[in-house]
């Protein structure tokens, strides 16, 4: 099992089970299937509204001696409505209660976007905070407290661009240890990857397969098909693999953690088998020149007329 190593020696398996979009009623079994298949890394978030069920599955796995707690790497994320300093620790404690854990291996700021406390998704201007109301440095200070209290062994961010990473690194006592962002051949994020690697920040790739099962409201009618792209199909045939395995192997070859989501037992097992696929230099060169550029999760649901935020607050210019 390939892993990345943090500065304190802790290891994070490079393939994890993503749980975004996994419905209650499905995610419990998916987590158990994953652990039985050999996964030791589960990626969660409070806003996914399924952490209680994930916690039930983890407790079942521990009590049945399928795995020990210390063998698992569990990530969760701070939602936008808990960015005030006083709200960060209560938020992680709520997540820990739902997951039935004493600590997280990794806790991330989910987005560099702030809502008023108690808001799920802001629907009016009044439900947003601005960077003047809550600077990112304040939220990061709360994350540092989580680490200092032992509630999270490692802390980081998600959907942060270079300027935002620099901002919290300058303000904080601890630099972010992880940045979780959308990454795949259509969105290689070379500039951001280079910055993170040169500054000791690990990366996790979400939506590595193109997130074709996300809600219709955040999809576009003309978006490209990553899994069905001719080059992905060609490489799958070359390596006697599935298209999904090729896309997972792409991130592994770049030294990036990857969290494919599935609730299908066969695909869960298949995804983990991508550890055995070695893409060569020619494969990676072809993927680097795939031609299509596309961001599936574009963040536009956080911007617009009612929002104080712009897409430039989120993304690098590619």
- The reply to whether 48 belongs to the active site is yes
Q: Which of 48, 107, 250, 309 is catalytic?
A: 48
36: Cα separation from own chain's centroid: 22
Q: Which string of b and e fits 228-239 if b means at least 16 CB within 10 Å? A: ebebbeebbeeb
Helix, strand or coil, per DSSP, at residue 200: coil
What burial class does residue 181 get, using C-beta atoms within 10 Å of its C-beta: 0-12 exposed, 13-18 middle, 19+ buried?
buried
Cβ-contact 80, 150 below 8 angstroms:
no
The span from the CA of 224 to the CA of 209, in Å, is 12
For residue 67, what are the CA distances in angstroms to 62, 73, 97, 175, 255? 6, 11, 20, 31, 26
Distance spanning both ends of the chain, measured CA to CA = 32
Does the annotation flag 110 for ligand binding? Answer: yes
Count of beta carbons in the 10 Å neighbourhood of residue 133: 13
Helix, strand or coil, per DSSP, at residue 218: helix
The secondary element (H helix, E strand) that includes residue 85 is: helix 85-99
79: CB partners within 8 A, 6+ apart: 45, 46, 47, 91, 110, 115
Bridge pairing between strands 202-206 and 257-258 = parallel
- Which residues fall in the annotated binding site for substrate? 110
Enzyme catalytic residues: 48
């Amino acid at each position: 099992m390939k892993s990345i190593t943090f500065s304190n020696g802790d290891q994070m398996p490079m393939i994890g089970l993503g749980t975004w979009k996994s419905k209650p009623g499905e995610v419990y079994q998916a987590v158990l299937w994953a652990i039985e298949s050999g996964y030791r890394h589960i990626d969660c978030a409070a806003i996914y509204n399924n952490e209680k069920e994930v916690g039930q599955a983890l407790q079942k796995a521990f009590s049945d001696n399928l795995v020990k707690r210390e063998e698992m790497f569990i990530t969760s994320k701070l939602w936008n409505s808990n960015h005030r300093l006083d709200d960060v620790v209560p938020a992680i404690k709520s997540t820990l209660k739902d997951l039935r854990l004493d600590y997280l291996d990794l806790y991330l700021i989910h987005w560099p976007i702030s809502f008023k406390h108690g808001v799920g998704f802001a629907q009016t201007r009044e439900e947003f905070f601005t960077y003047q109301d809550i600077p990112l440095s304040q939220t990061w200070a709360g994350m540092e407290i989580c680490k200092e209290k032992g509630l999270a062994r490692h802390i980081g961010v998600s959907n942060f661009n270079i300027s935002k990473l620099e901002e919290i690194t300058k303000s904080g006592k601890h630099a972010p240890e992880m940045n979780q962002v959308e990454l795949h051949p259509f969105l290689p994020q070379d500039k951001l990857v280079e910055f993170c690697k040169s500054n000791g920040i690990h990366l996790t790739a979400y939506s590595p397969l193109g997130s074709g099962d996300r809600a219709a409201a955040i999809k576009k009618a003309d978006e490209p098909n990553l899994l069905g792209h001719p080059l992905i199909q060609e490489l799958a045939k070359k390596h006697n693999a599935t298209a999904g395995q090729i896309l997972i192997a792409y991130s592994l070859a770049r030294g990036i953690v990857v969290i494919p989501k599935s609730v299908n037992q066969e695909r869960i097992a298949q995804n983990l088998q991508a550890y055995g696929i070695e893409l060569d230099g020619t494969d990676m060169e072809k993927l680097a020149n795939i031609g299509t550029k596309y961001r599936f999760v574009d963040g536009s649901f956080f911007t617009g007329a009612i929002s104080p935020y712009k897409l430039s607050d989120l993304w690098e210019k590619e």
